[in-house]
Structure 1
Amino acid sequence: MNPKKIVFRVDASLEIGTGHVIRCLTLAEALRKRGCECQFICREHPGNLIDLISERGFTAHCLPSAEASRGLRQDPRSLAHAAWLGADWRTDAGQTRKAMGDVTVDWLVIDHYAIDEGWERKLRPACRRLMVIDDLADRTHDCDLLLDQNLVASWQDRYRYKVPDNCAFLLGPEYALLQSIYAELHDRIPPREGRIRRILVYFGGADTDNLTGMVISAFGVINTEGVFMDVVMNPVSPHIASVRRLAGKDNRISLHERLPNLAPLIAEADLAIGAGGATSWERCCLGLPTLIITLAENQRPIAEELDRTGIAQWLGHKDNINAVQLSRTLQTILDNDVPPEWSQRCYALVDGRGVERVASFILLDAQTTFKTRLARLDDEQILLQWANDPLVRKNAFHPDAIDPITHRKWLCKRLDDQENCRLYIVEIENVFPIGQVRFDKIEDGWDISYSLDHRVRDRGFGKSLLQDAISTFKKTKSQTLIFARVKDTNVRSCRLLENINFKLNIHKKNICIYILEI
């Protein structure tokens, strides 16, 4: 079988930062481990990471450098970050298509604030499926899959009407694209509590505003013994020389450059000071309390939500913070112990397995292997989502939405009654649940019901879902009858049941009752 071909269109620069490329590299490495062939297309902006992409073993096609403003179309529809593309969007789309060659790739993955549906339509003929990684929700897309790993207010609704109706969503920190080491460390590092002894400072790959220098200056006037600081900065930063000088004057400070990842330093730290970008999820995954100073407008809603939920403390935007204010805040925090619940809230938000979930979803096909397991109490949220899916409610015999309290009581009762109920979750590779199948004891046998995650509908997985669950159920309850009650208007479910050897037993009052002997 030929490997799946996946192309990433993503850039890094002193203005854009490095986060977009780093998270795409993380996804590409996970896909490569599963046999995919991944390539990158990047423009040669100052501060690009093309050499890093090549060092990681991926082919990087380079688009020529251009002044950001040259050739940009100035019209009312111009995107807020249009200048970041380094060319007008039509030129960039044409150059990208040429770099891809004559092949049609399986997935084209776009992680760029300067690309929207116009560019994406131009590239549609060059790919079977198109994925967008976004953080802003400020433009429309023509894509099959949209990933936004951030936690912001109204995060589940902000892409409504901005993508096609059949677009699948992967939303929230459970899909954060973190390197595998974060999942490995997640369950091994205890919650932070008590006195702060080590502080980690990192403001992204460029830190063009030199907030790192400001933090070092603020730390320098604090007379606290036994507290040390790890500072991480990219050597391409325009302020690296001054940071080296400042750090060299304080023996409490260690400066780190060219690190493969931050995980070891995050694991050692008791407190972090940094920006509100992608590193937020790395810190959360390892339970590190953080003080956030936002660097860009798109970081504000993330910082606001993290502050509101007690995951991090947002000190303000870069323009509103100075060294004097920061030193006072730091001194106050250092004078008090870190409460353990702060760290525990971070742990609960991110488990580090997001890249596994995303890779599993991307590679879903007819050969995908499923695993069926009994439901647990921690499946409550996904089960409620499936139960209240509009199509599920439309086809249900009781179409009213289910409130969370009622659902929790119902779930606890079902989980406690193993003799009369078997509730199964069907997953891909233990990381991505695609649906549920429930067997309830009735007088003559067992009643079966199911629901499929809307993100995997219309891809032929309903048959596998039911067959896998029935096979698992059969191991515990053989020589019995399974009944399925379906509205006769639910033609798709009727055909599916017939396709897996259920026989129509009764059809009356708009209800079809099917039967299967196992």
Structure 2
Amino acid sequence: MFVFCIESSHTRGLGHLYRSLTLADELAHSGRSVCFAVNRHEASHDIVKARGFAVYGYDIYADAGSWELELIRALGSATIWVNDRLNTQAAHAKAIAAAGLKLVTFDDRGDGAAFADLNVSALVFEDTAALKGKDVRSGVDFMILNPEIELYRRHRDSLTSILVTMGGADTYGVTIKVAQWLRDNAMHATIVTGPAFQHKDELDIILQGKAEGFLTHRGAVASLAQEMAGHDIAITGGGVTPFEACAGGLPCIVIANEDFEIPVGRALEKLGCGRFAGHHSTLDLTPAFEGLSIGTMSRAALDAVDLEGVRRVGSLIKGLET
């Protein structure tokens, strides 16, 4: 059995959860048994259950190494533990190893990463030589993206429709700043918010205000890949979402929600498929919209990001089975 251990909440965001669900689907389709261990966050548990996986709650504030063995014993047949929680602690990693499980981790710079059998760091673009683990893989080739995007891949050549999607939680309410800027600059856009979005009242005030532009708000959509297909540029955070957009040929303007997302925005700009608008605390979208070449950026996006990462990572993880 594969155990996916996730931190997911309004504060942490839902990106780790959705990435792991995509990989879990890949493993389950190849006949592997999968379950999830997620901190006690009701919305996250509901998402996992809706995808057909069993989910077990754990105390996010419990000391590392204090609860893992109990869960592993309760499961009875776990062989590989997959962490998508960023900075793994050594005590946690040692507890997994002591129970006889192989450890896989993602984008991990914690002191526990050194004990990982596989550290997949597709979202790390700076100081990759310092990444630790028995087997470290980095680069866009190992990006885990929704395979549904394949249905909607296309080249864009003009800007007629803007999408705003700042993640399932949008911890810092960056959507509000973006909506305000779009309204003030009389621009048309569709704003998609996720299931853990907690700034709806603030957004409603902007949407109800007088504006020359036209902003449409949609709550959690059934398929973000399908929604992306109808637009020509996306304003996103610096996680997996801009890479999913680019895989479909949709250029991005990236706003860093966290400091570690700054290199992501810069990397996408260097690849030619994105513009980096800086950290959300100093947001000004004006430079990002100047001189946009949608056709060139869309072609660069299709060339730079493919959809084989989930299969590549799945094969690496299955290779750890004994």
TM-score normalised by L of structure 2 = 0.90
1:54 aligned partner: 49
- Pick one of 188, 201, 220 that aligns with 2:164: 201
One-letter identity of the residue aligned with 1:203: M
Which structure has the larger Rg over C-alpha atoms?
1
Deviation larger for 202-211 or 99-108? 99-108
Which runs of 5 or more residues in structure 2 are unaligned?
none
Query: Within 2, Cα distance between the matches of 1:90 and 1:133?
Result: 19
2:261 aligned partner: 299
Please report the RMSD computed on the Cα atoms of aligned residues, expressed in angstroms.
2.4
The CA deviation at 1:148 is: 1.2
Q: Cα–Cα, structure 1 residues 214 and 223, in superposed 2: closer, same or farther, change >3 Å? A: same
- Pick one of 275, 283, 295 that aligns with 1:313: 275
The CA deviation at 1:108 is: 0.8
Is 1:88 aligned to residue 45 of structure 2?
Answer: no
CA contact (8 A) 1:41 1:96 kept: no
String of CA shifts for 1:184-207, please: whole Å, max 9, x gaps: 433xx12x223x110010111211
Query: Within 1, Cα distance between the matches of 2:111 and 2:101?
Result: 22
Is 1:179 aligned to residue 146 of structure 2?
Answer: yes
Is 1:152 aligned to residue 128 of structure 2?
Answer: no
SS at match of 1:153: coil
1:168 aligned partner: 135
The CA deviation at 1:131 is: 0.7
String of CA shifts for 1:193-226, please: whole Å, max 9, x gaps: 23x11001011121132211111111112246xx
1:513 aligned partner: none
Aligned 1:350-499 pairs, distance under 5 A:
350-364=305-319
User: Matched residue pairs, number?
Assistant: 318
2:7 aligned partner: 11
- Pick one of 26, 31, 40 that aligns with 1:30: 26
Deviation larger for 213-222 or 23-32? 213-222
2:301 aligned partner: 346
Query: Within 2, Cα distance between the matches of 1:339 and 1:313?
Result: 11
The CA deviation at 1:245 is: 4.1
Query: Within 2, Cα distance between the matches of 1:8 and 1:223?
Result: 44
Aligned 1:38-77 pairs, distance under 5 A:
38-45=34-41, 48-64=43-59
CA contact (8 A) 1:193 1:337 kept: no
Is 1:108 aligned to residue 55 of structure 2?
Answer: no
Q: Relative contact order (C-alpha < 8 Å, sep 6+): which is higher?
A: 2
SS at match of 2:123: coil
Query: Within 2, Cα distance between the matches of 1:258 and 1:283?
Result: 17
One-letter identity of the residue aligned with 2:157: E
The CA deviation at 1:140 is: 4.3
SS at match of 1:268: coil
Q: Cα–Cα, structure 1 residues 205 and 339, in superposed 2: closer, same or farther, change >3 Å? A: closer
TM-score normalised by L of structure 1 = 0.57
Quote the sequence identity (%). Answer: 24
String of CA shifts for 1:128-160, please: whole Å, max 9, x gaps: 4211112x53534211111112251353x231x
Which runs of 5 or more residues in structure 1 are unaligned?
65-84, 367-458, 460-518
One-letter identity of the residue aligned with 1:6: F
Q: Cα–Cα, structure 1 residues 234 and 143, in superposed 2: closer, same or farther, change >3 Å? A: same
CA contact (8 A) 2:13 2:171 kept: no
Q: Cα–Cα, structure 1 residues 339 and 216, in superposed 2: closer, same or farther, change >3 Å? A: closer
